[in-house]
């Protein structure tokens, strides 16, 4: 199927190349270094609920599993073929990983469901409009105070990186990669409502500059989100589901010390 109709772009641009993804990325992108660093930066607690958007072959989820068996982590990807590779890779390592086939701009998760959301080498596959919708979705499913960690192609930081980035532009389309390579990702994060947006570090790779970013959903989003849930869906949802969402939307610290907030009506 052509990727324009599929709703996603396969890991290496074409379905037939997907089985080559793991060896290629391992050999050419300093994969374990940058993914390990991304996880280090996220400071994940044992009880964290984690989502990997565009999880591909599941490498990041398996790195997480190696750090803790008790984490609640799920990977989302639009491509069934790449999820099959993730599943069999986990099986070979006798690990269980949770996977969901869905599009990043329409996620099947409730508001405030996750403490950390990761996205590695995925945003550059999306058009500007898809990036915006995806960031809005990540914002929605993160709890207030929750954090997003992104690894993706970025503005080349020297002439060599600019030359090497040409292969990414050619392979993944000039239009889809433009925001990455012009250094616009942080602005898109802020536009989606994130605060504390920061570039953590960058790596020189054979495909150009790879940057790691961090962004946080403001704690204040809790009140706004609760008001929206109560206001907009009271008539649409049954009581138990509503109560569940409101409890999940409370900031972690509030949840630990208080009971569930009262539900009006
Ligand atoms: C280059 S791969 C990166 C995989 C993995 N995160 C990694 O770092 O190795 C990009 C992944 O994003 C997925 N993807 C692209 N567009 C998507 C969309 N609209 N919804 C969900 N997944 C998508 C692809 O199927 C692919 O597995």
Total tally of structural domains belonging to the chain: 2
pLDDT at 190: 97
88 and 47 in a common domain: yes
Residue for token pair 């639009």: 78
153 and 120 in a common domain: yes
173 and 51 in a common domain: yes
Query: What is the value of pTM for the model shown?
Result: 0.84
Helix (H) or strand (E) holding 252: helix 252-257
Q: Residue 41: which domain range? A: 3-216
Which residue has its alpha carbon closest to ligand 1 atom 9? 56
* Edge-first strand listing for the sheet containing 208-216: 98-101, 72-77, 49-53, 114-120, 142-153, 208-216, 195-205
How confident is the model over 94-146, as pLDDT tens digits? 998 999 999 999 999 999 999 999 999 999 999 999 999 999 999 999 999 99
Cβ atoms within 10 Å, residue 126: 24
Transcribe 105-168 into DSSP letters.
TS-SS-TT-EEEEEEES-GGGS-HHHHHHHHHHHHHHEEEEEEEEEEEE---SSHHHHHHTHHH
253 and 131 in a common domain: no
Transcribe 185-251 into DSSP letters.
HHHHHHHTT-EEEEEEEEEEETTEEEEEEEEE--TTHHHHHHHHHHHHHTTTS-HHHHHHHHHHHS-
Q: Which two tokens stand for residue 62?
A: 């398996």
Q: Does any domain span residue 123?
A: yes
How confident is the model over 25-72, as pLDDT tens digits? 998 888 999 999 999 999 998 889 999 999 999 999 999 999 988 889
C-alpha to C-alpha distance for 216 and 43, rounded to whole angstroms: 13
**Looking at residues 161-179, what average pLDDT do you find?**
85
Q: Are 14 and 81 in contact (CB under 8 A)?
A: no
123 and 210 in a common domain: yes
137 and 169 in a common domain: yes
Q: What is the CATH number of the domain that holds 38?
A: 3.40.50.150
Q: Which two tokens stand for residue 96?
A: 């269980």
182 and 83 in a common domain: yes
Cα(56) to ligand 1 centroid in Å equals: 5
Q: Which two tokens stand for residue 6?
A: 């599929």
Q: Is the pLDDT of residue 173 over 90?
A: no
User: Probe ligand 1: pick from 1, 5, 11, max atoms within 8 Å of CB?
Assistant: 11
35 and 20 in a common domain: yes
Which residue has its alpha carbon closest to ligand 1 atom 4? 56
- Give the 3-state secondary structure of residue 148: strand
Q: Does any domain span residue 47?
A: yes
Q: Which residue has the higher pLDDT, 20 or 4?
A: 20
Transcribe 161-187 into DSSP letters.
HHHHTHHHHHHH-HHHHHHHHTT-HHH
How confident is the model over 192-231, as pLDDT tens digits? 999 999 999 999 998 899 999 999 999 987 666 655 555 4
Q: Are 57 and 51 in contact (CB under 8 A)?
A: no
C-alpha to C-alpha distance for 199 and 202, rounded to whole angstroms: 8
Q: Are 247 and 261 in contact (CB under 8 A)?
A: yes
Closest atom of ligand 1 to CA, residue 8 = 16
pLDDT at 168: 79
148 and 244 in a common domain: no
Q: Is the pLDDT of residue 147 over 90?
A: yes
190 and 118 in a common domain: yes
With cut-offs at 50, 70 and 90, classify the pLDDT of residue 240. very low
pLDDT at 226: 59
Q: Does any domain span residue 253?
A: yes
Provide the b/e sequence for 64-84 (b: ≥16 CB within 10 Å): bbeeeeebebbbbbbbeebbe
Q: What are phi and psi of 75, to 5 degrees?
A: -110, 140
pLDDT at 253: 39
C-alpha to C-alpha distance for 236 and 186, rounded to whole angstroms: 35
Question: Is the CB of 75 inside a 6 Å radius of any atom of ligand 1?
Answer: no
Supply the DSSP symbol for 1.
Answer: -
74 and 53 in a common domain: yes
pLDDT at 222: 63
Q: Is the pLDDT of residue 13 over 90?
A: no
User: Which sign, positive or negative, has the C-alpha torsion 129, 133, 134, 139?
Assistant: positive
Supply the DSSP symbol for 122.
Answer: -
């Amino acid at each position: 199927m052509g990727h324009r109709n599929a709703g996603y772009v396969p890991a290496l641009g074409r379905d037939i190349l997907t089985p080559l993804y793991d060896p290629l990325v391992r050999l050419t992108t300093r994969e374990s270094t940058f993914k390990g660093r991304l996880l280090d930066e996220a400071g994940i607690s044992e009880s964290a609920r984690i989502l990997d958007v565009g999880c591909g072959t599941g490498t990041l989820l398996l790195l997480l599993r190696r750090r803790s068996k008790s984490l609640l982590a799920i990977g989302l990807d639009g491509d069934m073929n790449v999820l099959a590779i993730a599943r069999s890779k986990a099986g070979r390592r006798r690990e269980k990983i949770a996977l969901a086939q869905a599009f990043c701009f329409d996620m099947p998760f409730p508001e405030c469901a996750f403490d950390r959301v990761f996205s590695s080498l995925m945003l550059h596959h999306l058009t500007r409009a898809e990036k915006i919708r995806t960031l809005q979705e990540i914002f929605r499913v993160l709890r207030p105070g929750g954090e997003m960690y992104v690894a993706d192609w970025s503005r080349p930081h020297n002439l060599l990186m600019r030359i090497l980035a040409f292969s990414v532009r050619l392979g993944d389309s000039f239009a889809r990669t433009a925001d990455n390579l012009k250094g616009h990702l942080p602005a898109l994060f802020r536009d989606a409502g994130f605060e504390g947006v920061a570039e953590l570090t960058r790596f020189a790779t054979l495909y150009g500059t790879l940057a790691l970013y961090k962004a946080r959903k403001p704690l204040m989003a809790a009140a706004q989100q609760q008001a929206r849930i109560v206001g907009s869906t009271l008539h649409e949802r049954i009581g138990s589901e509503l109560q569940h969402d409101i409890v999940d939307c409370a900031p972690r610290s509030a949840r630990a010390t208080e009971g569930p907030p009262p539900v009006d009506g």
